[in-house]
Chain A
């Protein structure tokens, strides 16, 4: 780093956490987290999905309260009752998915909640726009304060969020995976901006999965695993291998079930699947009993491509063959009839009907099979649900319990069970273990092995490296809507996959 801010070691840390605990019904998501942020330092917060990073961000920004522990700002113990209180203490966050007002201008998005007024009590548009333009100029943004937000892309919206943080003159800026949806060039720009914030003496908490960035920008690191802090220190003292080991907490080989990779004949052949803006030329062959891993960063087009395959959107081009025959899939119903099943990434909004009971959720995708004529057969439904609950060891009081009352892991087991009830031949799992506890995770992995042994073919979409590497027979890596790398289980190394996914490897293998 060329810029060395003045750091007075006697000065109290800008932000200090100690013993922070947070519980949700049925799950402890954070326990004993404690670290400090100092002026002019970037601290990288690392950890797998579900390790508790997002929860920590919500606590620091006043969205959640904490159950135990203490937060000190500038040496003073604080308690944030609201988002406003966190701002007032000088903490702002830049969220992974920008939460903003599409219909309003950039200036308003920056100043919403703390607009300045003139002497007459009216909004000081002039001043607000000038101030916003100043900040935007500082950020080298290619748009102005008066631009409507809805015309901006994701990267530009991130700049607006950063501008918002600067408008508060925040002492602490939290960046929650700000680079997840950015291209390489945009990431470079962002890193330059972070450097500038650092030089201004702000403390930055930088959350990222990308080690390359972390090593470029961070001074210190904190690692979370399953809600616990498993380490922290200076970035100069570690290697990325050390961090991976800490994050995962185990060597990859022994936590995943060993599978006989007896790959059968081809069952699904996809050829040149494309749509206009999200993905292009997706081609692969999936065999019976095979697990095909699909790795890519959030926003790389992997979910969009497979949702098109499942009939949720219309691809513009491409041929789908199942067992050699071309099939036309125009709706999820067609896909289910063709033997496909898709467990979506977002359990709460796409997978589960939270107000429905376990029974009602399990049979939702196979209602016809559970009725006689139009009439639902409750006995048949209960039998299916019971077998799912037993097979997955779903923890619930009874089968009539609403899904919303179960823990995330158990909800996910029921959602997967819903698809098993359709007797699929091809199962697409989109981030099946995101945000669930280790026990449920292992159950899902064991179940995948069991299915493939029975000849079911699985496509596993995951941004969790150990999972993709531990479970897949072959791996496709996507970047910006295209497959940029194809690897067999033997060839795959974390470095190869990560570099391909980050787009740093420009050679297009597809």
Chain B
């Protein structure tokens, strides 16, 4: 309705590629297409889906959040420590705490970028180091294991509701919320304006700093939520948890057609980018390819995506000649 046909075409072709990859894998190993395997892919990718959406809103404003994985790990550790100290804490409170901690960490980024004026890449590079180091300072480098966590704490993400694990439900809820936010709220549409043309956005009376605070807050909240999910799903929390995962998240955004120069990116595109990486990760072992291929493949796909996106994004040259004008108008 509001997305351009080009964007839609881009998402459709990514979806097509994903289907083709799945079909190819399915031919070699039919078990991959079994509902149980597919559900597993979804569960496995749920956290990535959510993080990719958080990163997307940041990228829309020409920002970047390199601290997502560190935020996730720190929040996970804090939640784990609190849950160990208070095993009776209801799970809703645990989740609320995770979101709150993530929000605070996100707002620190937002403050540095929007209020102090530090370039996003520098600010989040710094907080990346600080957040991760704080984990060590909190627990002296010790690990939290399943033994430190209550049953309820560990059980929640995998428990099912209507046949789907909570984790998948959360990813669905976050996706829908983000889709509604980006497409049906004024503030969501303003993000596109701010990233697409900051000068014009100012002419429209949009306050850039407020938008920046908002996107880092969103990214932080999502990272916080994912922190709890990651720790509880894998039953472990330690300093290096999800180390370097920010690059996977960013890679998924690139593949999903979210532009680093701001103003371009959709929820379906970002989700497809995440799905693509999730499928590759899960398909390789199934067809007997070493999982060590995963990174090289994602690198190759990122480069392909960048080149393809750049081709479609290239601005048409100015049309001055009247005959050229006719030619350009004609086929449209």
Contacts and interface: CB of A to CB of B under 8 A. Distances in A.
**Do any beta carbons of A and B sit within 8 angstroms of each other in the complex?**
yes
Contacts of B320: 277-279, 299-301, 304, 480-481
Nearest to B322: A480
Contact of A117 (B5, B186, B197, B324): B186
Contacts of A151: 4, 332
B4 A83 contact: no
Given A480-B320, A480-B322, A101 B4 contact: no
A63 B203 contact: yes
Contacts of A277: 317-321, 324, 328
B193 A104 contact: yes
A123 B186 contact: yes
Contact of A108 (B189, B319, B322): B189
A99 B200 contact: yes
A123 B189 contact: yes
Contact of A276 (B188, B203, B324): B324
Nearest to B4: A148
B199 interface: yes
Interface string B303-324: 0000000000001011111101
- The prevalent SS among residues of B at the interface is helix
Given A103-B264, A104-B2, A183-B322, A276 B317 contact: yes
A105 interface: yes
Contact of B189 (A84, A115, A153): A115
Given A101-B263, A102-B196, A112 B189 contact: yes
B205 interface: yes
Nearest to A151: B332
Given A103-B4, A115-B189, A146-B1, A480 B321 contact: yes
A433 B44 CA distance: 64
A122 B196 contact: no
Nearest to B319: A277
B204 A113 contact: yes
Contact-residue size bin, chain B (C-beta under 8 Å from the other chain): 35 or more
B325 A112 contact: no
A482 interface: yes
B2 A105 contact: yes
A280 interface: yes
Interface string A91-130: 0000000011111110110001101010001110100000
B190 interface: yes
Instruction: Name the residue in A100, A112, A301 with the highest tally of chain B Cβ atoms < 10 Å from its Cβ.
Output: A112
A83 B203 contact: yes
B11 to A, nearest CB: 14
A87 interface: yes
B180 interface: yes
B265 to A, nearest CB: 10
B151 interface: no
B200 A122 contact: no
A493 interface: no
A280 B321 contact: yes
B200 to A, nearest CB: 4
Interface string A397-435: 000000000000000000000000000000000000000
A104 B186 CA distance: 13
A99 B324 contact: no
Instruction: Name the residue in B1, B2, B5, B206 with the highest tally of chain A Cβ atoms < 10 Å from its Cβ.
Output: B2
B205 A482 contact: no
A329 B178 CA distance: 52
A150 interface: yes
A278 B318 contact: yes
A165 to B, nearest CB: 12
Nearest to A82: B205
A298 to B, nearest CB: 11
B270 to A, nearest CB: 15
A103 B185 contact: no
A100 B200 CA distance: 6
A82 B205 CA distance: 7
B192 interface: yes
Nearest to B195: A103
A61 B264 CA distance: 28
B300 interface: no
Contacts of B2: 104-105, 107-108, 125, 146
Nearest to B204: A113
B292 interface: no
Nearest to B324: A277
A63 B204 CA distance: 11
B234 interface: no
Contacts of A112: 189-190, 193, 201, 204, 206
B185 A121 contact: yes
Instruction: Name the residue in A102, A150, A183 with the highest tally of chain B Cβ atoms < 10 Å from its Cβ.
Output: A102
A122 B188 CA distance: 10
A104 B192 contact: yes
A40 to B, nearest CB: 27
Contacts of A101: 192-193, 196-197, 200-201, 263
Contacts of A121: 185
A122 B187 CA distance: 10
Given A100-B200, A113-B205, A115-B189, A481 B184 contact: no
Interface in B233-290: 263-264
B202 interface: yes
Interface string A264-279: 0000000000001111
Contact of B185 (A123, A183, A300): A123
A482 B322 CA distance: 10
Contacts of B328: 277
Contacts of B184: 122-123, 125
Interface string A427-464: 00000000000000000000000000000000000000
Interface in B1-22: 1-2, 4-6
A148 B186 contact: no
A105 B2 CA distance: 6
Given A278-B318, A482-B321, A83 B204 contact: yes
Interface in A276-298: 276-280
B205 to A, nearest CB: 3
Contacts of A99: 197, 199-200, 203
A101 B204 CA distance: 11
B218 to A, nearest CB: 17
A102 B193 CA distance: 9
Contact of A278 (B196, B205, B317): B317
Given A82-B205, A83-B204, A113-B205, A103 B192 contact: yes
Contacts of B204: 83-84, 112-113
A115 B200 contact: no
Contacts of A83: 202-205
Interface string B164-196: 000000000000000010011110111011001
Contacts of A299: 318, 320
Nearest to B327: A277
7 contacts: A63-B203, A100-B200, A103-B264, A108-B189, A150-B315, A278-B319, A480-B321
Given A107-B2, A123-B185, 13 more contacts: A83-B202, A83-B203, A84-B205, A100-B200, A101-B200, A104-B196, A108-B189, A108-B192, A277-B318, A277-B321, A278-B317, A299-B318, A481-B320
A-B interface, 3 closest residue pairs, ranked by CB to CB distance from nearest: A84-B205, A113-B204, A148-B4
